Amino acid sequence: MKPLAIYIHVPFCVRKCAYCDFASFAAREDDWAGYFDALNGEIDAWAERLHDREARSVFFGGGTPSLVPAAYLADALRHLRKVVAFAPGCEITVEANPGTLNVDKLRVYRRAGVNRLSIGAQSFDAALLRSLGRIHTPGQIGEAVRMARDAGFANISLDLMYALPGQTMERWAATLDAALELPLAHLSAYSLIVEEGTEMARRVARGEAAVPDDDAVNEMQRYAVRRLEAAGLMRYEISNFARPGFECRHNLTYWSGGEYLGLGSAAHSLMDDCRFSNPPELERYLAGERRLNLAQRSASDRKEEMLMLATRTVRGLDLNRWRAEFGEDLTRSRAAQVRKLENYGLIEITDGFLCLTPVGLELQDSVVLELMED
Ligand code: SF4
């Protein structure tokens, strides 16, 4: 059975956060039933083509999957189990907003087989949460984690953000302290990227908000690595930390170049060396448009992707796998670049893996560019 990661997109949110450029929009409850009907139809239509696949992970992302009645997610899982085998211990994640969770939803998730919860906390600073447009309070984050534990979730992850306008190192440290008081198996710490077209970008353009400079951002990241690792959450990817054995299998599939099927509006897929995606607009998705932008990957695409994704992980790029896939010894074909990056202390080669040092991870884009240069 070929392994497969499955992503299911739920595009609805209570309202749009100031920094968000995801394919999501403020909820229109009237759309929910129609959307999940279409989603289940899309799942059913895959029946013929998934008989030789085994789902190793299922990830409900968004949007805010925890916004809609939990029965919709349970129903989608029921459809999915009919068309594809689930591997034993298949990781099944629901992304949740603390402002939309309750005990009943959590119990339905558990009964449906959901075994991982990824909670979008972003900050424990009430003023920063308000400026981000988040719908929840710091208190609701702790409450969500406690409810999840009571419902039987052992694998709980929290998302946090740094490099926020108005955020000092002290405020970031206080958020990390508050997070570490909770029983977490996993934590993601992302630097804010001000995306074009968002409310945050407009505020920055008007001079109403300013993000910390690069030095301050790097210092916040370094502090997070030290603080989280000291608490037993080990960094395994640029922005991700886990207790041993709780690394996110779904995301590891992306970073290791594995195959994934995206279901729902805006979802992207990579199967049989082809990329394709569903339309981001609800209307087009409901009208049945599927598998757009179908493109076969070239060898150079695959090389670039493998370099870009594998070097995000602390383990790094598997040089034997590179040789098997491309018939090339990277340390020979890029000998000059490898030597230069080693001399700068940006990469190391250990046990057949090329990995970035902590400083290299801060400069990952540039390191990858250098490795791709001829
Ligand atoms: S909850 Fe998440 S997906 Fe929804 S608007 Fe906020 S950041 Fe975007």
Closest CA to 51 of 87, 96, 83: 83
Q: Which atom, in ligand 1's list, is nearest to the CA of 97?
A: 1
At residue 184's C-alpha, the angle toward residues 311 and 263, to 5°, is 60
Residue 373's Cα: distance from chain center in Å?
A: 28
Helix 364-372, helix 335-343: angle, nearest 10? 150
Ligand 1 atom nearest residue 95's Cα: 2
User: What is the Å distance from ligand 1's center to 159 Cα?
Assistant: 12
pLDDT of residue 87: 98
260-263 and 2-10 beta bridge pairing: parallel
Which pLDDT belongs to residue 27? 79
DSSP annotation of 259 reads -
- Report CA(222)–ligand 1 centroid distance (Å): 26
51 Cα to the center of ligand 1, angstroms: 34
Instruction: Return the pLDDT at 374.
Output: 73
| Ligand 1 center–CA 44 separation, angstroms | 28
Mutation test residue for ligand 1: of 10, 13, 118, 130, the one with most atoms within 8 Å of CB:
13
Centroid of ligand 1 to alpha carbon of 174 (angstroms): 23
Nearest CA to ligand 1 atom 2: 63
Alpha-carbon distances, residue 82 vs 5, 79, 250, 279 (angstroms): 16, 5, 20, 25
Residue nearest to atom 3 of ligand 1 (CA): 63
175 CA → ligand 1 middle, Å: 20
Among 14, 16, 199, which residue has the most ligand 1 atoms within 8 Å of its CB, making it the best to mutate?
Answer: 16
Closest-lying ligand 1 atom to the alpha carbon of residue 15: 5
- What are the mean pLDDT values of the chain's consecutive 10-residue runs (374 residues total)? 97 96 90 97 96 97 97 98 98 98 98 98 98 97 98 98 97 98 98 96 96 95 98 98 98 97 98 96 96 93 95 97 95 95 97 97 96 84
Å from CA of 173 to ligand 1 middle: 24
Contact indicator for 16, 24 with CB cutoff of 8 Å: yes
Is 13 a pocket residue for ligand 1 (Cβ < 6 Å)?
yes
Helix (H) or strand (E) holding 45: helix 29-45
Q: Is the CB of 17 under 6 A from ligand 1?
A: yes
Q: Is 199 in the pocket of ligand 1 (CB under 6 A)?
A: no
The residue nearest atom 7 of ligand 1, judged by CA position, is 20
Report the distance separating Cα 248 and Cα 240, nearest Å: 9
Q: Is the CB of 20 under 6 A from ligand 1?
A: yes
Tell which one of 15, 17, 141 to mutate to probe ligand 1, the residue whose CB is within 8 A of the most ligand atoms: 17
Report the separation in Å between the CA atom of 79 and the middle of ligand 1, taken as the mean of its atom positions: 26
Q: Is 333 left (phi over 0), alpha (psi -120 to 50) or beta?
A: alpha
Q: Which atom of ligand 1 is nearest to the CA of 13?
A: 4
Decide if 2-254 and 299-374 have a common fold.
no
Q: Classify domain 2-254 at the CATH topology level.
A: TIM Barrel (3.20.20)
Task: Domain 299-374: give its CATH code.
Answer: 1.10.10
pLDDT at 349: 96
Domains of the chain by residue range: 2-254, 299-374
Which residues, in sequence order, are bridge partners of residue 209?
A: none
With helix as H, strand as E and coil as C, how does 198-241 read?
CHHHHHHHCCCCCCCCHHHHHHHHHHHHHHHHHCCCEEEECCEE
